[in-house]
Amino acid sequence: MSSINTEKIRLNADLINPISACPFGEPITECPFIPYYTLNNEREQIMKIDVIPQEELDELRKFHRVCMEKYRNGEWPVKVTDVNTR
């Protein structure tokens, strides 16, 4: 079994949460993380960080940061599955 304790995964540890599941509940339609959610296996999702080119990881990070900001500003509609309604 491959290790999830690699240098690349450690350097991109901030992406583990958004690549594993949407932290805001149901992702928006254009979310680039959706293909990783379909794996339905957190270990496999995390292992993808090791094979995704760094440039793509940087783009995922940018998207996630913008999404977090929009969520905080109330720009995304609250959905029944959002963490705030649990």
**Do residues 33 and 67 lie in contact, with contact meaning Cβ atoms separated by under 8 Å?**
no
Domain range for 43:
7-85
Condensed to tens digits (0 to 9), the pLDDT of residues 49-77 reads 999 999 999 999 999 999 999 988 988 76
Condensed to tens digits (0 to 9), the pLDDT of residues 4-56 reads 789 999 999 999 999 999 988 888 889 999 999 999 999 999 999 999 999 99
Residue 2: inside a domain: no
- 63: CB partners within 8 A, 6+ apart: 31, 32, 33
Which pLDDT does position 24 carry in this prediction? 84
Residue 37: inside a domain: yes
pTM of the model: 0.81
Residue 39: inside a domain: yes
Which pLDDT does position 2 carry in this prediction? 74
Work out the end-to-end distance of the chain between its first and last CA atoms, rounded to an integer number of angstroms. Answer: 35
Residue 78: inside a domain: yes
Condensed to tens digits (0 to 9), the pLDDT of residues 38-47 reads 999 999 999 9
Residue 30: inside a domain: yes
